[in-house]
Amino acid sequence: MAVKTLDDLLSDGVEGRGVLVRSDLNVPLDDDGTITDPGRIIASVPTLQALAEAGAKVVVTAHLGRPKGGPDPKFSLKPVAAALGERLGRHVQLAGDVVGTDALARAEGLTDGDILLLENIRFDPRETSKDDAERLALARELAELVAAPDGSPGAFVSDGFGVVHRKQASVYDIATLLPHYAGKLVAAEVKVLEQLTSSTDRPYAVVLGGSKVSDKLAVIENLATKADSLVIGGGMCFTFLASQGISVGTSLLEEGMVDTCRKLLETYGDVIHLPVDIVVADKFAADATPQQVAADKIPDDKMGLDIGPESVKRFTSLLSNAKTIFWNGPMGVFEFPAFAEGTKGVAEAIIAATGKGAFSVVGGGDSAAAVRQLGLPEDGFSHISTGGGASLEYLEGKTLPGIEVLDT
């Protein structure tokens, strides 16, 4: 792809120029509005820092959560602006609206090196509209925020990899209006994913977890043809076990996917590996009592909440000789300490393989959160993605609108 990068923009000079950056600052918050995992904020800093230090007038747009068609105080970017400012070591203004009077006034008042964060872009329903004209209208208003006084256009930097699979105003349409560039984060993510899909060193191991087979079906079908081993854990493993006639008790089960899983095992049985033991409990709760059972001996009144230690051993042996590893999705309910050992064990196996020279990618989302929550070293992996959904769609072979539009 012939995509211009941030380095291209910086080499042209940005001092005094308005630059709109689409970042991914969609971080998790607790009930008090405290950020529980700043990973995406940290990942957004290099691009913003480089632009500010080069003297650009930086306007950042991002979303938080899924507000329903209008402003909602619980989805305000106020805590994000404060955290971003701390990471950047400079004040980050927060506009009181998206493209309204406050945003316009603050954008006009920016001096070289200033950073302005617009309020949650999804407070404007046009951002996610299916109507092309509505999205384009919002994109035009965003472009006005970075236009020079003489009317010459600013620039757009796409740095929110977690949203590039969305055809949205601040991701796609804005790039049709302004000179556009891939930020440091987006450029790095695409480079890594291209390596996973084209020039992978073998053996190639894929580890998939999470709750639903339906969410990962396309990536399973695509990677099963490319990987030497495909390890399945998390809630999705129970639908695979059920497809073999195994009773899974009260575990998570997608009954509509049982036949699909059976066909996958028939076709790729030598590649797909399932858990051989499960950690079960009588309820979904942090204080539930864990019990280890064989995968085909799950009691009718119990639910599986993690893979067992024998499964971790088997999966570790598969991963130990891998040269390329892609991991997306936890092996169990890692948020509960009693059911986090499977995820931790598999993650440690990936770290060990990486230490021996394997190229390992953590595919964002819950997997990235698990790495941080379980206290695992982030530098133990070759790359931790910031975009779970975008990573999966790329590996499925889908075209990502927010990347495709940069190649024009």
Encode pLDDT of 69-92 as tens digits: 789 999 999 999 999 999 999 999
Is 164 in the same domain as 204? no
**pTM (predicted TM-score):** 0.89
What letter represents residue 114's amino acid?
D
How high is the pLDDT of residue 19? 98
Asked if residue 164 lies in contact with residue 190, where contact means CB atoms within 8 angstroms, the answer is no
How high is the pLDDT of residue 31? 86
Question: Where does the pLDDT of residue 265 fall: very low under 50, low under 70, confident under 90, or very high at 90 and above?
Answer: very high
- Tokens encoding 17: 């120029």
Rounded to an integer, the average pLDDT of 202-211 is 94
pLDDT at 118 over 70: yes
pLDDT digits (tens, 9 = 90+) for 19-49: 999 999 999 999 888 998 898 999 999 999 9
Is 156 in the same domain as 199? no
Q: Which residues contact 257 (CB under 8 A, 6 or more apart)?
A: 212, 213, 214, 217, 239
pLDDT digits (tens, 9 = 90+) for 281-310: 999 999 999 999 999 999 999 999 999 999
State the binding site. 24-26, 40, 63-66, 122, 166, 216, 304, 335, 364-367
Active-site amino acid positions? 40, 212, 365, 389
Total domain count, the chain: 2
Is 118 in the same domain as 244? no
pLDDT at 230 over 70: yes
How high is the pLDDT of residue 192? 92
State the binding site for substrate. 24-26, 40, 63-66, 122, 166
Dist CA 391 CA 328 (whole Å): 9
How high is the pLDDT of residue 1? 59
Q: Dump the DSSP string for 136-173.
A: HHHHHHHHHHT--TTS---EEEE--GGGTTS--TTTTG
Is 307 in the same domain as 378? yes
Question: Where does the pLDDT of residue 340 fall: very low under 50, low under 70, confident under 90, or very high at 90 and above?
Answer: very high
Is 173 in the same domain as 195? no
For residue 272, which of 321, 237, 312 has the smallest C-alpha distance?
A: 237
Average pLDDT of every residue of the chain: 95
Chain position carrying tokens 């790095």:
188
DSSP letter (8 states) at residue 324: E
Quickly count: other Cβ atoms within 10 Å of residue 145's Cβ: 23
Q: Which residues contact 65 (CB under 8 A, 6 or more apart)?
A: 26, 74, 75, 120, 122
- Tokens encoding 171: 């991701």
Q: Which residues pair with 406 in a beta bridge?
A: none
Asked if residue 262 lies in contact with residue 243, where contact means CB atoms within 8 angstroms, the answer is yes
CATH number (domain holding residue 16): 3.40.50.1260
